[in-house]
Structure 1
Amino acid sequence: MTLDISIWIWLPLALSLIAILLQEFKAAFALLALCLIGGLFEHRLNLTGLASIIIDLGIAYKTPSFNSFWRYVGLLFISFWSLALFFHFVPGFNNLQVLNKVVASPNSVPDSMYLNFDKPMLLFALILAYPPLLGQAKTVKLKPILFTLIPLFALLPIASVLGALKPELSLPSW
């Protein structure tokens, strides 16, 4: 595994994601701007990708102020843009490949891993288009969290019992 020097651009991206979850919007978008400039500089993003981000974030920003018909059109646009990013149909992104067909143990299948530059942009678009998504910072409801976490943590034991997951204790060289 070799890391490219351009990995530094993921630090402001990670910090911007943390800032947006803490509802520090000015800091989040300042860090996002730094990340996008760094992405251009490091050739992880080209002008087409940058234009796509700016257009989508602009539409997402205006969507809450539209009347109901245009709000749905804006949300539909953001949904299609999200799907296009998910399937890598949006040009202009050169994601960093961190691992290439590595094998963790003798029984594992080869796996590759990328640091995606495009996928985190969805969070910014969703927060701009639908600000209540983050909820109130002061209210924590334990019941919905438990109803989410219990089935989530049950997935690994269920997969193991069904034979879909077989633990292998090894430490890969990478």
Structure 2
Amino acid sequence: MWYLLATSLAALSLNKSLAYLMLGLTAFLGWKQSILDAPALLVIALIVIGWSVVEWLRNKNNKYTYLVEGLCVVIAVALVLHAIPGFHNPKVLDAVVVGPQSIPFSMYFNMDKAVVPFFLITCMPTLFVAKPLYKPGKVGWGILVLAIPALLLLAVALAG
């Protein structure tokens, strides 16, 4: 199920219909594996319905498009904050201690956070297809490549 979810996220940039189909299949598998309950399935159904409504209303310049997009943003924020019930995220690591002075930590596979990009693509359908307004040259890319290690070194130097 987790590989299918990752594949559906990767497919968002290539074929949205296929990505949403795989999301539905992932939701079904999550329900069968007791990772998702009815509220979570309802949220995932809202994603697919919201995407369909936004695509249908997009060319009509309708005020309801903004309502659906706003609802998608609210639900995405609620998912990030774990405010929507029905997601039983499995624990992958439990009380792992990395070193003698580290505190134990746990890690979960969060399906609710992995679903957020589907809401965002509903709000911004041109996310993967819009042309950039500015094309950086070789100097801009060089600065970006050098900035990453420079910022990491600065963080290490400041932290001690």
TM-score (norm 2): 0.80
Q: Does 1:74 align with 2:68?
A: yes
Structure 1 residues not aligned, in runs of 5+:
1-8, 167-174
Structure 2 residue 48 is the aligned partner of structure 1 residue 52: no
Match 2:23 to one of 29, 32, 46: 32
Counterpart of 2:100? 106
Alignment of 1:90-105 (within 5 A): 90-105=84-99
Once the two structures are TM-superposed, the CA of residue 69 in structure 1 deviates from its matched residue by: 3.2
1:41 to 32, 52, 77: 32
CA distance in 1, matches of 2:96, 2:44: 32
**1:40 maps to amino acid:** W
Matched with 1:18 is 10
SS at match of 1:98: strand
Q: 1:60 to 1:29 in 2, by over 3 A?
A: closer
| Cα distance change on mapping 1:39 and 1:156 into 2, 3 Å | same
- SS of 1:118's equivalent in the other structure is helix
**CA deviation after TM superposition for structure 1 residue 100, in Å:** 1.7
Instruction: Please say if residues 96 and 104 of structure 2, whose CA atoms lie closer than 8 Å, have aligned partners that are also in contact.
Output: yes
Counterpart in the other structure of 1:6: none
In structure 1, what is the Cα distance between the partners aligned to 2:8 and 2:123?
17
Percent of pairs with identical residues: 30
SS of 2:86 mapped into structure 1: coil
Deviations for 1:71-126, whole angstroms, at most 9, x for unmatched residues?
22222211111111011000110111101221111232322111111112111122
Provide the alpha-carbon RMSD of the alignment.
Answer: 2.9
Give ranges in structure 2 of 5+ residues lacking alignment.
none
Local SS of the residue matching 1:134: coil
What is the number of equivalent residue pairs in this alignment? 155
Q: 1:60 offset after TM fit, Å? A: 3.5
